[in-house]
Amino acid sequence: MPKPTGISSKAAAKNTDSGPARVAPEANADVASEKMAQVQELAAAMPYNATKAAEHGVANGLEPVPGSTVEPASRLPTGSTLSEENGSGKTGSLAPEGLNATIEPLDRVRVDSAGQALTTNQGVRIADNQNSLKLGVRGPALLEDFILREKITHFDHERIPERIVHARGSGAHGFFECYKPFTQYTKAAPFQEEGKVTPVFVRFSTVQGERGSKDTARDVRGFAVKFYTDEGNWDLVGNNMPVFFIQDAMKFPDLVHAVKPEPHHQMPQAASAHDTFWDFVSLMPESTHMLMWVMSDRAIPRSYATMQGFGVHSYRFVNDAGESVFVKFHWNPKFGTHSLVWDEAVKISGADPDFHRRDLWERIEAGVYPEWELAVQVFTEEQAERFSFDILDATKIIPEELVPLQPLGRMVLNRNPDNFFAETEQVAFCTAHVVPGIDFSNDPLLAGRIHSYVDTQISRLGGPNFHEIPINAPLAPVHNNQRDGMHRQAIPRGRVSYEPNSLAGGCPFQAGAAQGFVSVPARLQAQEDHVKVRAKPEKFADHYTQAALFYNSQSPVEQAHIAAAFRFELSKVTVPAVRERMVSSLRNASESLAQKVAEGLGMAQLPASMPLALAKPAKPEVTASPALSLAARPGDGSIAGRKVAVLVAPGVNGAAIDQIQAALAAEGAVPRLVGPRIGAMATAEGKVVDADASLENEPGFLFDALVLPDGEDAVAALAGDGHTAEFIKDQYRHCKTILVLGASSRLLEKAGLPAAAGSAAAKGKKGAPADTGLIFETSTDVSGALARFVTAMGRHRHYERETDPPAV
């Protein structure tokens, strides 16, 4: 393979987005090229995490080994910016090597104002601190008075900091309805009797992005449910994926720092396709299983209503007799699990960054209430010990073939918030919020979350009384001896705030085991249960078996999407060694996936497989689980809530349009008339249709299906608008259902579709799979075609037409 020219290498070194397939030192290189080469050399010197295998077992936990380090060739690779040598009176000079100046003696930040004039926060001296600026001594105060404004603003300005993760969220109220008593396993209030209804508030969110970021980023989605039970609040705080990147909460700050925008230039926003994330996860092979999920279509859901939810961790159910079993929680959407395709997600993010938020709001406003079934996997401690994996490991699932799902009830979201800030923004979830009948396992990631969430809310919501904000307040009465603090709302009577007491008759008194929360005394124990140690069980070291299970359980289309997602994300990485390290890790999960990704990244050959932390993993009970594929959860075939674009223009066949609108509305879909412009348009019959959207303001990728109209004049008008071809291309490329009426087949030809005018591919001739999502009707009676259209829409996508790269 020829080496890149010096000019191309120097140009590549100045990019912060994407990079060359290989980096080599160049003669007469500029400083940027030299830094790029040294960064590559530094990253390549650590092809895997050499200390990973030493994280497991008591002996290693008692004597941790030092972390692996590599000495850089110079200070270039470790700097934030090449401009760091350009000093000034403010920036100072280059940071002294190995020094953290923030922990120097506090003299560096002490302030003594003796003998000093009063100033603004900008250091401007204030001449008069007694009077505001007015138009004359008795005149009105002036907006110009920046000194007054700064002083007052600093005094009374308040804002709630956004969440560090899950900052962008959308919420709704609803209810959970129990199917039948589950009292043989748990005394938790929501599961005590058939038909029992428990109010809930649910918040969906992305993880990486800030509050103003886009909805359709490739990301994990938070799925947090607050049950307002009659025994207190229970927060089931989960995600739309059943596993996570890390096994221990100790690594959570590292994960978030790696995936967030890089600190030296604060890019990219709401994306994992950058160096620091992939550098981190490529050194954390335990992340591989989660990476399969994040690179799958699960990471770009079509809507919150078509997204699964999971509790992620193993919890415990406890019954009235004090007996406990392990439990994992699953939320399965009534409307099926559906996703976007990547090209569609990217385009939607530009046209409507609020796509998921809008969809959730509009569904509820329209009465198409999102609904999920809550199901659980229940298993005993004895069963858990026989599994080939450790149930305390948050990077593992329990395949449904091993422990089947048992449905408990349904959750319906049927009310939008009255005020986004008061409800969705101020709601505070915490894994520590449990009720009698729910308890924790010894999952080390869960243990960290139990602490972290409360700690975060105290900081974000301004103090320890965030539980008194209305959206967070329980329905169950609150009686305790907590007093005062910021933002206190309650006004307790009396002088007693301690226990035991006699001045208040001993009240409030402790409830005792019969009514109060009691932790399960028998916990899952390691064999070495008499020693405190920083280590993981040996089964945690199996990082790839379930990653392979997930990949092998996907349909060929989903596997292709996973490979394309890895290819895209890793192409954004500027350090080839990080890419190679990630591919070397993928080889342990799937050789074919690694090969596809390597080819897409221009790698001449596959790097060696990453060494395993566990040389001989246990033989898995399940090697393929159809339930892990989105295709296994098509939903009920309903098209309720789906948006359908019906193109119109002057001269359109209005009778067919009326028939289509009525039929789609009867199915609960949302048909929208999209024209070259909005407004009234004459039909071929001399009547009028009213376009409520235009080709310009509602692009094709915002819709779930497309109807192309009949009518010579209408087709001619649409053909003359360049937006039409783009509209059709996006619908076709994103594998959506298209109904082609009469003369509009010419629009397919103009858009350059290979299936134009009912070609062999569309009809399934010569071995080509039939495109069931491309429906032609030449007669004026559209009823038959319309029925096929509705059925085809129920499939959501028609992947038989998908190619990589796209043919259109």
- Residues that are catalytic: 166, 239
Residue linked to tokens 């520590």: 432
Task: Quote the CA–CA distance of 116 and 637 in Å, as a whole number.
Answer: 75
54 touches 64 (CB < 8 A): yes
724 touches 718 (CB < 8 A): yes
Which phi-psi region, left, alpha or beta, contains residue 315 (left: φ > 0; alpha: ψ -120 to 50)? beta
Could you give the 3-state DSSP secondary structure of residue 240? coil
Q: Which secondary-structure segment (H or E) carries 8? A: helix 6-12
- Angle separating helix axes 591-600 and 556-571, nearest 10 degrees: 50
Task: Quote the CA–CA distance of 430 and 410 in Å, as a whole number.
Answer: 22
- In sequence order, what DSSP letters do the residues of 435-461 get, joined into one string? -TTEEE---HHHHHHHHHHHHHHHHHT
Query: Residue 406's beta-bridge partner residues?
Result: 376
Task: Quote the CA–CA distance of 405 and 376 in Å, as a whole number.
Answer: 5
Q: Which among 770, 724, 723 has a CA at the least distance from the CA of 744?
A: 724
Strands 169-178 and 406-415: antiparallel
The tally of CA atoms less than 13 A away on the side-chain side of residue 670 is: 15
Instruction: Give me the amino acid identity at 192.
Output: Q
How many angstroms separate the Cα of 561 from the Cα of each of 8, 72, 363, 804?
31, 37, 28, 9
Could you give the 3-state DSSP secondary structure of residue 222? strand
Instruction: Give me the amino acid identity at 76.
Output: L
The tally of CA atoms less than 13 A away on the side-chain side of residue 380 is: 3
Number of neighbouring beta carbons within 10 Å of residue 96: 8
Number of neighbouring beta carbons within 10 Å of residue 337: 22
The tally of CA atoms less than 13 A away on the side-chain side of residue 577 is: 19
Query: Residue 229's beta-bridge partner residues?
Result: 232
Could you give the 3-state DSSP secondary structure of residue 493? coil
Task: Quote the CA–CA distance of 536 and 531 in Å, as a whole number.
Answer: 13
Could you give the 3-state DSSP secondary structure of residue 23? coil
Q: Which among 151, 131, 127 has a CA at the least distance from the CA of 141?
A: 131
Number of neighbouring beta carbons within 10 Å of residue 180: 13
Task: Quote the CA–CA distance of 599 and 292 in Å, as a whole number.
Answer: 18
Task: Quote the CA–CA distance of 368 and 606 in Å, as a whole number.
Answer: 49
Which phi-psi region, left, alpha or beta, contains residue 521 (left: φ > 0; alpha: ψ -120 to 50)? alpha
Strands 406-415 and 371-379: antiparallel
Rg (CA), the chain: 30
Q: Which among 647, 665, 669 has a CA at the least distance from the CA of 794?
A: 669
How many angstroms separate the Cα of 509 from the Cα of each of 236, 492, 516?
28, 16, 11
Residue linked to tokens 């008008």: 717
